Structure 1
Amino acid sequence: MIPITPYTLRQFVLDFETTGLDPASDRVLEVGLRGADTWDALVSDAGDASEGAVAVHGLDPDLCRCLGRPSSGVLDGLLGRLGPGPVEVVAHKAAFEKRFLEAWVEREGRVLPWIRWRCTLEQAWDLAPQAPFSCRLGELAELFGWPTEGLHGAGMDATLTERLVATLDAWTEVRNRLGGEPGLVYLAGPLRGDGTAEAIAHNRARMAGLARWAQAVLPQATLVVPHLNFAFADETGRRGDLVRTQVLRSCEALVAQCQALIQCGHTRTEGVAREVAVAEALGLPVLEVPGWPSLKRQPAIQVKGVA
């Protein structure tokens, strides 16, 4: 028999929005599926949601009745996408989705495949048990600098959870590699962007949030965060190029004093590449974690007759 490993299981990310909190009496109202398949569905006959549930997800029952499908059909669509199994299903607060899915399957007389459940909420708690923030999905997304428009819709929550899986796995590797006494740890990431004050402020704020998370995961580390260390330096003024040269030289000197470097984001900008080169030349561990989206500037609105 071939042993079941994480590499042989198809992985799905699942989120439900429901009419309430009790799987015995409440029903699934919306499904969001990501990972091995992408699918969103509304349920037309779930019934009215409680005031508390509507306050969270804001789903209009009339919209669900008009655009949704009957519960049995939505469940068949979900089970068809999961397939015969075994599969891994990831959810943020997975016990909630698990109870609702099992109750739904039992009511409709269907059979679940073999599922290994994984909870990103529990993984976040394990990584940062003393964190000075909650590990709710929305708060983590804001901490990591991710867009949260549409939060508490099943599709958006499943998308954020899918992104969270990769992020938590990367930080688990960081903690395992650096151990309980990591010493001085340098956080490297993009700062300048397109060179505007707006882009620099965006990247500085994003790194500040990520540094809060890094300190919670590595409570014994002394973090070196150049985005904040050199917040006084103005790279956008008339002497911006000279300031940038001075800051990059200082950053390289700081890297040389550290015991490890964490690269935040998968793209090595000029500055990050220089910092990584120093770390690698000194034989320091260089670990990579997901970063944050770059600032997207809105195109200028063209008005007819105006140059």
Structure 2
Amino acid sequence: MFFSTGSGTDRRVRLSPDGQRIVHRPRYERDQVATAALFLAPALIVLGVFVFYPIIAAAQISLTSWNGFSPVKEFIGLDNYVRLAQDPEFCNSLTVTAIYAFGVCVLSVATGLVVALLLDAPLRGRGLYRGIYFLPAVTSSVAAAIVWKYMLDPAGFVNSVLAQVGIDGPDWLQDRWLALGALTLLTVWKNIGFNAVLYLTAMQALPAGVFEAAHLDGANAWQRVRLITVPLLRPMTFFVVVQALITSFQAFDLVYMLTEGGPRGGTDVLGMFMYRQAFRLGDFGYGTAIAFVTLFLVLGVTLVQWRASGTGKDER
């Protein structure tokens, strides 16, 4: 037996033998499909030319041995991917990228949330502070890396400040772990304003009534942040983590200007490794294979994080 849902739409509902509601939606009319296709066509054409076709072409190149200039692209199948699995430089690059990405993700969430909480407070000149914190996000990556490189020089600003308190500063960019730490802090500093704006936007959309009720129940400011703000910001935290993850796996300009992958491969992230193989050594097939492995790694880690965080699940 069918009956109307009464919602103003042309849907019919029938009851199954066990009493479950089964909704029957009408098929789209041809004119609706034609209209939708007409409006979607420009976007699909742009995506096809500038997104889907380059991906397909790059996938084909990853199955060849090509130097980037020869008109002949020798097909070698999955040899580039087998070579990757046996390449110690790729293993080092993957390890460095994983450590770098983990540090960037953790610090991006922590600093973005703290700065957003500070900027959300009723401070005088709050708009000025927001602009100051956002300045690194609009600063040229090349310029920022050059400034940090001079600051971390053995005779630079950082060691000069340490010398004033009697500490002999190290050569920051010539130590494997110190260089990776400096690169991580530079990346977090570069994106701190963007992450803070994301959190600030999400915080301003939170229901004020929940915080008022918690305040009346005797919850202090720290308890309201820990038990209400942080859990409600979980979807935005997931987005910040994904953004930081993608930024880490795509890192190149900051690494190139700050350390060029050194010292001794200590900051040789996947983006730098791919650039060296493709553009310096002329092995475009191998470099493209590195790019596809990076893509699948980002997709895989994102899906795991999505499932683990529970984002997108229906609240029942």
**Do the structures match in fold with TM over 0.5?**
no
| Structure with higher RCO (Cα < 8 A, 6+ apart) | 2
Larger radius of gyration: 2
Flag the structure with higher strand content.
Answer: 1
TM-score, length of structure 1 as denominator length? 0.21
TM-score, length of structure 2 as denominator length? 0.20
Flag the structure with higher helix content.
Answer: 2
